[in-house]
Structure 1
């Protein structure tokens, strides 16, 4: 989930005295959902599961008894890092410094409740600011399926790859033990994972046993081109309906081997064969492959560009105490 780049300057329009901060509840769902109604957002699909998740804080900002913003912090990396997710502000209240106040408040809650946490991490499409470390960059490709006949689409793409002499791998589905074997492998971590991190639907994790325990409980499609000498691995988030009714499928791809990445991408799409209606896909790849994957998807497969085109996302990490002091 995207996290805006918060500029370190005085807030405009809002002060902390204007807001009431509280922990989110099930009863707040409709108001939280209204924050996303004008966007293709997956917050409504995960809100309830977030409230049940261990070591997570979900905070709402209210004004005049109505929800005007929210944010979440998930304690990961063996309790050392606050993964910041879900920062949203009501459309009518944007540009007034509210995001910065919410960020400050949730960091203070984390510091009080989890004193062992010293750093924060998030994924953003926006400009980063001084005091944070940029761990990696990924490129997001937004696609739309003109037809939902996925099996025919995949079959044709495979046939075209073979005709043109491209390598094609019959990608494999990963079981929990396979996931641990691959994502805890030092070579995979150092050469394939962006900044040595696993990215899943905007969440950022170090490749640790405890984090894999979290991810393996989620509805995820795990794929790799092969177990030994792996060239590409991917994490596919189960499709969800966005606020305007489109079915959205998110694929986070790791690796720089283009034939392997193409093969694993096609394997991920096989799980879409049962879907009906409009389907959009957000594919995240290594920036070195962005133009080639864009050409493969749009020119070779006939997929249409989504609401956005190509966009970079950055994995950002920094200290909690330093950020609070600057906010």
Structure 2
């Protein structure tokens, strides 16, 4: 369901909702508002009307879920939190850079895993595994580019239809998992690559992160990489990305993101 906001006949904003979790939850996705209208309450008004529309059309939906900035917490029911890292990946020979980084890691004696691409059957078996859900997924939820999903077969069917690169440090008893969303253009014209990382093992997370960067197509321009990681790893991953890989810090809108899920009758917006 998509909601458009217009002013004097011109579209100034858009927000959307998907019904997920076997029809039980309305997933609210980030509102996009024209620069000239930001800070004027357009996003809040769109969300308010969108929720009312969901309640009217889908009375069986009981929950709402979304990602938010902790600074905007209005008494949210928070399931978990991830930290955000924004990087500028230069348009250089990325495979060569990553090979050098891996070589340096091995020379120092750092633990390195050869990450494994996950096929649909692997995704189903790993992300429905109770141990993985309880120990790796923040709040027991899968996060993909700002969207929240319970680890259910129906939700994985949705995600497997999207252009996502799935990686793990290993299939059996994984320590790190990740979803890399195919690069896209943001409203400013930048190419953006979103990597959602799950796990607290630093070596495994580094290895899987490098594998995601290796999956990028040849770059003709700089790419902004938005990486979400377990908050306990944020300082080490910043140090790794800036000092060891030589990436530049990108524009940071949020430092953290919280995973919110509550009764749809709650009016947070």
Are the counterparts in 1 of residues 141 and 150 from structure 2 also a CA contact under 8 Å? yes
Any stretches of 5+ residues in structure 1 without a counterpart? 1-56
Query: Where does residue 263 of structure 1 map in the other structure?
Result: 207
Aligned to 1:199: 143
CA distance in 2, matches of 1:130, 1:252: 25
The equivalent of 1:101 in structure 2 is: 45
Give the drift of 1:316.
1.2
Structure 1 runs (4+) deviating above 6 angstroms are none
Is contact 2:84-2:256 (8 Å) kept?
Answer: yes
* Distance in 1 between residues matched to 2:69 and 2:259, nearest whole Å: 9
Q: How many residues align?
A: 269
Q: Is the 8 A contact 1:70 1:87 kept in 2?
A: yes
Distance 1:154 1:268 in 2: 11
State yes or no: 1:75 paired with 2:22.
no
1:194: how far off?
A: 0.4
**Aligned partner of 1:112 among 56, 59, 64:** 56
- Hey, what does 2:236 align to over in structure 1? 292
The 3 A distance-change label for structure 1 pair 187 and 221 is same
DSSP-derived class of the 1:60 partner: strand
Could you tell me how far apart the structure 2 residues matched to 1:308 and 1:62 are? Answer: 29
8 Å contact 1:122–1:203 — kept in the other structure?
Answer: yes
Aligned to 1:314: 258
Query: How does the TM-score come out when normalised to structure 2?
Result: 0.95
| 1:94-153 deviation digits (Å, cap 9, x = unpaired) | 333332221111111101111111111111125244442011110111111234211111
Higher-Rg structure is 1
Shift of 1:303: 1.1
1:150–1:273 Cα contact (<8 Å) kept: no
Distance change (3 Å), C-alpha of 1:65 and 1:273: closer
In structure 2, the partner of 1:248 is 192
Q: Counterpart of 1:61?
A: 5
Name 1:181's counterpart in structure 2: 125
Structure number with the bigger relative contact order (C-alpha 8 A, sep ≥ 6) is 2
What aligned pairs does 1:19-168 form with structure 2 within 5 A after superposition?
Answer: 57-168=1-112
Q: Distance in 2 between matches of 1:70 and 1:84?
A: 12
**Counterpart for residue 249 of structure 2:** 305
1:209 aligns with 153
Are positions 1:234 and 2:188 aligned together?
no
Partner secondary structure for residue 249 of structure 1:
strand
Q: CA RMSD for the aligned pairs?
A: 1.6
Counterpart contact for 1:246–1:280, Cα < 8 Å = yes
- Match of 1:250, SS state, is strand
Match of 1:281 among 225, 229, 236: 225
Quickly say closer, same or farther: Cα 1:167–1:176, change in 2 above 3 A. same
On the 8 A contact 1:125/1:313 being kept in 2, the answer is yes
The answer (yes or no) to whether the contact 2:12–2:34 under 8 Å persists in 1 is: yes
Gaps of 5+ in 2: none
Aligned to 2:165: 221
Note the C-alpha offset of 1:302.
1.0
Distance 2:106 2:204 in 1: 13
Deviation per CA, 1:149-174: give whole Å up to 9, x if none: 11111101101110111000110000
SS at match of 2:166: strand
Q: CA offset at residue 276 of structure 1?
A: 1.6
Give the CA deviation at 1:200.
0.5
